[in-house]
Amino acid sequence: MTQSLPDRTVPVALAPAAGAALSPAADEVRPRQNRPSRRRRVEQGFVLAALVVFAVIFAYPFVWLVSASFKPRGEVFDNKLIPDTFTVENYVRVWQEAPLALWLLNTLIVTVLAAVTVTISSAMVAWGFAYFRFRGRGVLFGLVLASMMLPGAVTMIPTFLIWNALGQIGTLTPMWAQNLFASAFYVFLIRQFMLGLPRELFDAARVDGASQWGLFWRIVLPLSKPAIAVTLVFEVQAVWTDLMRALIYLRDASTFTIPRGLKSLVDSFGFGGEWHWEIIITASVIATVPMILIFFLGQRQIIRGVGAGALKG
Amino acid sequence: MVAAAASAVAPDASRERSRRRARRRYVRSALLFLSPWIVGFLVFTAWPLIYSAYLSFTDYDVINDPEFVGTANYTRLFEDPKIALALGNTVIFTLLQVPLYVLVSLALALLLDRAGRSAGFFRTVFFLPKMTPPVAVGVLFLLLFNGQSGLINTVLGWFGIDGPAWTTDPAWVKPGLVLMSLWTVGASIIILLAALQSVPIELYESARIDGAGFWRQSLSVTLPMISPALFFIVVVNTIGGLQTFDEAYTAFFGSGNTTYSNDAALFYVIYLFQQAFEFLNMGYASAMAWVLFAVIMAITAVQLAVSRKLVYYEAEDPR
């Protein structure tokens, strides 16, 4: 059955040959000569040396930030990676000065709600465009593409007025609820991926009596895992770091998310008077670490999904 | 005779009816799947567009009703010196940032593509900064680019270079922010790497058989094959660059800020945000938003036109 399918209907990420080139392990799968030539080894050495230099440049600010968070106030600017005096006092003080646990919790709530709702709704819409044939489909999808180009600044003010009319300013709702209605970018991304899935499979499932919803929920969604994972990770990243929306909608420190809270610390411990860098630095570290963990958990899927869906033509 | 004709038509008509019913059910399912986007588009895109266009012709402070002022907001745009300043800052920043960003991400992606087993580790390292909240990146900018004690100038000092006052000298604020933004090229690297790795190996093989060396292969195979990804990155970054906000706002604006001269970091969206939510000039800010929209559309249109000549697309999938 599978063998009789024409090649192009096999989704990129599921077809062993093409999929291998896109998977995180691609480098290992690529054919290599058993005995690399001398020229090849010289080239490898050069590539590795260059990568190491860049990796140090990229990792350094981050490592430096973490190290500075363990330095006492006066030594923050000494540019040493190993603190002369190691202290956790900054972490204690940050915890006293700001409700960081609450901010982390707020961010977590908003992020989970936003990522889950946008993923499910965008996948539904993507499926609507990928599978169904009906008049006006092209026009509607054109609108999806066009709305991807729309700068956020244009809709920002009326959207604020909507939430204001609904009495939601100062609550966490505007931070995520719009995601219930899908997002053009993810619709595009997931649809691209779904177009690569074997249509024959879905027609067969329909003939076997699956409902449209059952087909979507039990067959399409599981098959679309790479695209779903990319959407989740991208949205988690976007929401976790979203400053502007938080500046617009959140008023009280008890509802702040991490970026908004961090900004308030920069204002009060920086612009407000003498810069207390140690507080700002330590809070930045606390705000960043959870994201790094999420990336480590999700990165295999991100790479695969980006390769499989986003940029084919 | 009549009866015979009727009985001959009847089964056909009922089949036609049931087919039509099935078709209706099919369209209804399609609409059900599309409904989240349709509702969202109407409420959060279409209506805001229309309302924002209307607001741009009014004076509106949220508390009182909008008051129609004709094209006053648009004529005011031309007289407001801060508009010219913010627009200039934004364009300069974008012009500096996009080419550098694309070059750096392409260089790193090419290196990663040839890195063999260790690519996964390096890719993770390059992506990490993207996971740092922009607010923290803004903080890092102030620290690393500090004129006296920042790391950047310390390193430049090793080579006998007297680094500029990045965070306070208006001439160096934007270049500094551009350099800082290069730190977050991670997502572009991943997109380019995926494009590089999906170039069929046979293409390189046949190019080699035809006698093409490394540079010839890069120019004739690699670049055309990844040009859609490159184009995507250029467009997305241009649009993003024109809407720069988070890092610059964190580092140079906010309540109680008196330390820095922030004119050099006044980007268009920062000024728009201030007008809308700090001074509550919603009408004026809406006019500003429409001007930005027009600028972005114009630039994207130019990029699309140029891309027709430069971007290679494989034959479209028949579906």
A232-242 pLDDT, tens digit per residue, is 888 988 898 89
pLDDT over 80 at A28, yes or no:
no
DSSP annotation of B247: H
Closest CA relative to residue B250, chosen from A77, A270, A238: A270
Contact call for residues A290 and A104 (beta carbons, < 8 A): yes
C-alpha span between A102 and A253 (Å, rounded) = 9
One-character DSSP codes across A105-119: HHHHHHHHHHHHHHH
Contact call for residues A147 and A212 (beta carbons, < 8 A): no
pLDDT score, position A18 = 30
* Reduced DSSP (H G I as helix, E B as strand, rest coil) percent helix, strand, coil of chain A, to 5: 75, 0, 25
Q: Is the pTM of this model over 0.90?
A: no
Q: Dihedral of the CA atoms A83, A86, A92, A93 (nearest 10)?
A: -50
Within 153-212 of A, beta carbons closer than 8 Å to B belong to 153-162, 164, 178, 180-182, 184, 187, 195, 212
B102-129 pLDDT, tens digit per residue, is 999 999 999 998 887 788 888 888 988 8
Confidence class for position B312, pLDDT limits 50, 70, 90: confident
Shortest Cα distance, chain B CAs vs residue A178, angstroms: 7
Whether B162 and chain A come into contact, CB under 8 Å, resolves to: no
Which of chain B's residues have a Cβ under 8 Å away from the Cβ of A144? Answer: 37
Amino acid identity, position B183: W
Q: b vs e for B97-134, b when ≥16 Cβ sit within 10 Å of the residue's Cβ?
A: bbebbbebbbebbbbbbbbeebbbebbbbbbbbbbbbb
Close Cβ partners of B161 (under 8 Å, ≥ 6 residues apart): none
SS3 B59: strand
Could B317 and A8 be called an inter-chain contact, meaning their C-beta atoms sit closer than 8 Å? yes
Which chain B residue shows the shortest CA-CA distance from A25?
A: B120
Partnered with residue B302 across adjacent β-strands are none
**Maximum mean pLDDT: which of A92-96, A307-311, B231-235, B289-293:** B289-293
- Cα Rg of chain B, angstroms: 28
Of A47, A155, A216, Cβ closest to residue B49: A155
* Residue linked to tokens 């550098």: B100
